[in-house]
Amino acid sequence: MKQKSVAIVGAAETTELGVIPETSQIQLHGDAAINAMRDSGLKPSDIDGVATAGESPVAIAHYLGITPTWVDGTAVGGCSFMLHVRHAAAAINEGLCSTVLITHGESGRSMVGRSRFAPAPASLQGQFESPYGPAGPPTMFTVPVLRYMEEYGLTEEQLAMVAVVQREWAGYNPRASFRDPITVDDVLNSRMIAYPFHLLECCLVTDGGGALILVSQERAKDFPQKPVYVLGTGESVETPMVSQMEDFTSSKAFRVSGKKAFDEAGITHADVDHLMIYDAFAHLPIYGLEDLGFVKRGEGGPFIAEGNTRPGGKLPLNTNGGGLSYMHSGMYGMYALQESVRQMRGTAPAQVPDAQISVSHGVGGMFAASGTIIMSNEAP
């Protein structure tokens, strides 16, 4: 069912990205939120909707001095912010609030004002996964990939090419953590983290944040920035345990979320000028390209390795350098959304010429959840 469109009229990242030990996690939310309010010319008293993950929306509203009539604390991992955009669209269309602030801030590297997460021993993960020695996402998110390689013949070199191509994009981005070009050999010779994944196929761990402000399409032209319209949205979840994924070669949450967003936007894959696929690890853009329907099953690896997603390729993908090279605080989805907004505003450092439609696709947990947002700089 197609909703009325809403628009993103404020968007900003934290003033700094990378290693920010002098800033606590909640102040990363605060810094990003204030930057987004300045971007849109709004004050806290203008905001009546607050959504966030990683912190409580109560904490964020109080910290910023906002009295909301609508909050959303949906926290399903790194794609939570895609779900917030989707929920905010529904809330604005329903009249529950008029101006929504979505914040993200994460002291993922410096761990200032943030606690480490470990599953409770009586939780399902604690009972049925933790006893076997996983050490966080690098050893969990990667578990399905050998099965994918076996089924589709994906090679280690093709997997490595995901990191190589994204580093090419990062080279254009002054704010990217890593910008020096790398080769397939560099990737395959980097330290083994969890076979078949090497260090350069795993995301960064950095500090940072970002925030978005959304209003109805009718109000969008009253703001200083070029509006970025939300054409379609999708969300779904599958399982909190990666070992219980229905199909190790495909994400059900990706497929459901992507289809929902494309159907709602009423666009085809050929209409997409710019694409962001959350890349916590090198296999995710491959799964994403296939599960969103850009290529057939098994074709994602060769598609990237052949250069289709690199600068100058036909489908620019992860143009900020992605979680592998730009930044990754833990819940990267906000940075994918920020890059889509920049591309639609025409202000991205690696700007895709004349881009009119951008798809921003996120993952939460280890293939646990998904959210998809389709944006355009043209009013629907």
Partner 1 sequence: MKGQETTLAEYRKPLPKPTPETQEFWDGCKRGELRLQRSKQTGKAYFPPRPFFPGDPEQEVEWFTASGNGTLHSYVINHRPPPGFEDDAPYAIAVVELDEGPRMMTNIVECEQTPEALKLGMKVEVTFEKATDEISLPKFRPVGG
Contact region with partner 1 (CB under 8 A), list: 118-126, 180-188, 204-212, 272-280: 118-126
> CA 365 to CA 238: how far, in whole Å?
10
Q: State the number of binding residues for partner 1 (CB under 8 A).
A: 36
Per the DSSP assignment, residues forming a β-bridge with 210 are 13, 104
Beta bridge mates, 7: 215, 229
- When binding is defined by CB under 8 A, the residue of 1, 115, 117, 122 that contacts partner 1 is 122
The CB-of-245 to partner 1 minimum distance in angstroms stands at 8
Is 192 one of the binding residues for partner 1 (CB under 8 A)?
A: yes
50: β partners: 71, 101
Interaction between residue 51 and partner 1 (CB under 8 A): no
Instruction: For the segment 284-303, give every residue that binds partner 1 (CB under 8 A).
Output: none
Rule CB under 8 A: say whether 133 interacts with partner 1.
Answer: yes
| 118, 226, 260, 330 from 9: Cα distances, Å | 37, 7, 24, 25
Structure tokens, 253:
């949450």
Burial of 2 (0-12, 13-18, 19+ CB in 10 A): exposed
Could you report how far apart the first and last alpha carbons of the chain are, in Å?
15
User: Which of the stretches 65-73, 78-86, 126-134, 256-264 binds partner 1 when contact is defined by CB under 8 A?
Assistant: 126-134
- Residue of 244, 266, 306, 378 interacting with partner 1 (CB under 8 A): 244
Q: What angle do CA 236, 361, 366 make, to 5 degrees?
A: 60
Catalytic residues: 278, 326
- Kindly report the backbone phi and psi dihedral angles of residue 77, in degrees, each rounded to the nearest multiple of 5, phi listed first: 95, -160
Strand 228-237 relative to strand 100-107: parallel, antiparallel, unpaired? unpaired
- Considering only 132-140, 265-273, 302-310, 333-341, which stretch makes contact with partner 1 by CB under 8 A? 132-140
Is 158 one of the binding residues for partner 1 (CB under 8 A)? no
**Does 250 participate in binding partner 1 (rule CB under 8 A)?**
no
The verdict on 1 binding partner 1 (CB under 8 A) reads no
- Residue 189 as a binder of partner 1 (CB under 8 A): the answer is no
Q: 314 pairs with which residues across the strands?
A: none
Minimum CB distance to partner 1 smaller for 122 or for 270:
122
* Closer residue to partner 1 in complex, CB, 134/321: 134
Stretch that binds partner 1, among 81-89, 144-152, 213-221, 361-369 (CB under 8 A): 144-152
Sign of CA dihedral 342, 346, 350, 353: positive
> Mask: binding to partner 1, 204-243, rule CB under 8 A, as x and -?
-------------------------------------x-x
The answer to whether the CB of 273 falls within 8 A of the CB of 356 is: yes
